Amino acid sequence: MSVKQPKGEVTPGFSTPVGTRRKFFQWVTRMAAGLIGLSLAIPLVGYVISPALKRRDKPWVEVGGVDELTAGQPKQLEYVATIRDGYLEAKTHKAVWAIKQSDGQVTVFSPLCTHLGCGYHWDGDERKFKCPCHGSVYDVSGNVLHGPAPRHLDVLPAKVENGRLLVVYKEFKSGTSTAVEL
């Protein structure tokens, strides 16, 4: 003979977890949907914000042939650079100063004066680089001869491959005694 328990009472040792089977399956379904949504959202968010977080690569850019340079004579080489900033891509005109040494090595200078970032020019008669903004003057090696420039001209990484001059264009903070890359 079985003893009937009044509704709401539980026989000791025979208790069940709180809730029903239906609530358990609803919870499992919601958790599974949440995990699937999360597994899709994380890569999507990473894809969207990654361009803002990663530093732009500075690629080697071909600026001309080494045979175009005369030993000891600076030459301004102009080129078109493609700059990527996030998803935007823009083409800009850039220039560098290149000097071929007597031993064949090539030195490449940034085209900006180290005082306040103005563009300078080569005075062939005096064999000096001159900045028209505030009067800084540099020798053919980029050393400051006089004027307010706090340091020598900034040298850019350069290499020669198959007779072509390749440069990594960089910009530096002006007005400081040491070169700080921007």
Contact 106, 126 (CB under 8 A): no
In this structure, the answer to whether residues 73 and 44 fall within a common structural domain is no
Predicted pLDDT at 72: 81
Predicted pLDDT at 6: 56
Q: Which domain holds residue 93?
A: 61-167
Long-range contacts of 51-56 (CB under 8 A, 24+ apart): 51/85, 51/86, 51/87, 52/86, 56/83, 56/84, 56/85
In this structure, the answer to whether residues 105 and 138 fall within a common structural domain is yes
- Indicate the DSSP class of residue 55: P
In this structure, the answer to whether residues 91 and 33 fall within a common structural domain is no
Q: Report the distance separating Cα 167 and Cα 98, nearest Å.
A: 10
In this structure, the answer to whether residues 49 and 131 fall within a common structural domain is no
In a domain, 157, yes or no: yes
Q: Report the distance separating Cα 8 and Cα 13, nearest Å.
A: 15
| Structure confidence by residue, pLDDT tens digits, 38-58 | 999 888 888 888 766 666 566
Domain count across the chain: 2
Spell out, as residue ranges, where the chain has pLDDT lower than 70: 1-19, 51-58, 86
In a domain, 7, yes or no: no
Predicted pLDDT at 149: 86
Cα atoms in the Cβ-side hemisphere of radius 13 Å centred on 133: 11
- DSSP, collapsed to helix, strand or coil, labels residue 23 as helix
